[in-house]
Amino acid sequence: MKKVLIPFVLTLVLILSACGGKTANNESSPAQSEQPSASSSAPAESASASATTEPATGTIVYESQTGPVDVPANPQRVVVLSSFAGNVMALGVPLVGVDDWSKINPKFEDRLKDVQSVTDESLEKIIELDPDLIIGLDNIKNIDKLKQIAPTVTFTYGKVDYLTQHLEIGKLLNKEKEAQAWVDDFKARSKKAGEDIKAKIGADKTFSVIESYDKQLYVFGDNWGRGTEILYQEMKLAMPAKVKEMALKDGYYAISAEVLPEYAGDYVIFSKNPDADNAFQNTDTYKNIPAVKANHVFEVNAKEFYFNDPLTLDYQLDFIIKNLLG
């Protein structure tokens, strides 16, 4: 994954976790890019470790980007400090601690109800959780101290693409076959949906993804969560020229409401933050955007849409299919 999200400046480099890159005009950065299970209507299962769970036995060697690490062959008490909670949950591995951005995701709420919110500075709390594995980005603090608590593996956000990142999480958790099976199925479903969308509306139609955060608007490239990987990478749908020019390289670009018409495609996914200033939607500038007039703007709760993990990607794909194919 190459994008996730936030305190603006985010603590995950896309929510795939705070952001990595930044554009010249950004006052704050949108989180990167991480939902329900493969079916968004399926009841969520708790991701927390059970008190009756059998303890993990044995270890495997994971070849991390910093060298080999001995990790549990069957981890049962995982702490995720940035970005990857959805990946771990998708593979059915119990969590005991996650980052704040995962905890506030409404789509993760039921799964994480018994899981604690932790940061890279809450060392005592992490010790109390007694993790058998800690996962985070390589920009987290206290890595050496965390390694004294449990095997700790970090990733550089964007070093590999978002699907390869899930495969790496699968290797780390000794679930590589399960991770590969999901990737293969996801790519097939996304390709089929993309073909159906092009057949229905035309292959030349353009798509934009915008988001409100605080008093700022953002447009996104092809690798910053929020459905961008699906629309542009998997479905091969077209990006408006202005978005390609300004947002493709860095992943996102901050804009004002006044210039939004220049970035709006024939279809727009609006990742709407309920805490942001969304008053621009009441202006004539916004109302006269062709996609708005044609009812081609599809709104979704930004807090559910940030990431590019399997659970979130499945939700994003379902959302795109529902709104574009009915």
Cβ-contact 14, 33 below 8 angstroms? yes
Residue 117, sorted as left (phi over 0), alpha (psi -120 to 50) or beta, turns out to be: beta
Residue-wise pLDDT for 130-181, tens only, equals 999 999 999 999 999 999 999 999 999 889 999 999 999 999 999 999 999 9
pLDDT for residue 29: 60
Cβ-contact 267, 210 below 8 angstroms? no
Amino acid at site 220: F
pLDDT for residue 207: 98
Residue-wise pLDDT for 84-102, tens only, equals 999 999 999 999 999 999 9
CA dist 56 and 75 (Å) reads 6
Residue-wise pLDDT for 268-287, tens only, equals 999 999 999 999 999 999 99
pLDDT category of residue 28 using cuts at 50, 70 and 90: low
pLDDT for residue 8: 37
Domains belonging to the chain, first-starting first, are 59-179 (3.40.50.1980), 191-325 (3.40.50.1980)
End-to-end CA distance of the chain: give it in Å, rounded.
Answer: 28
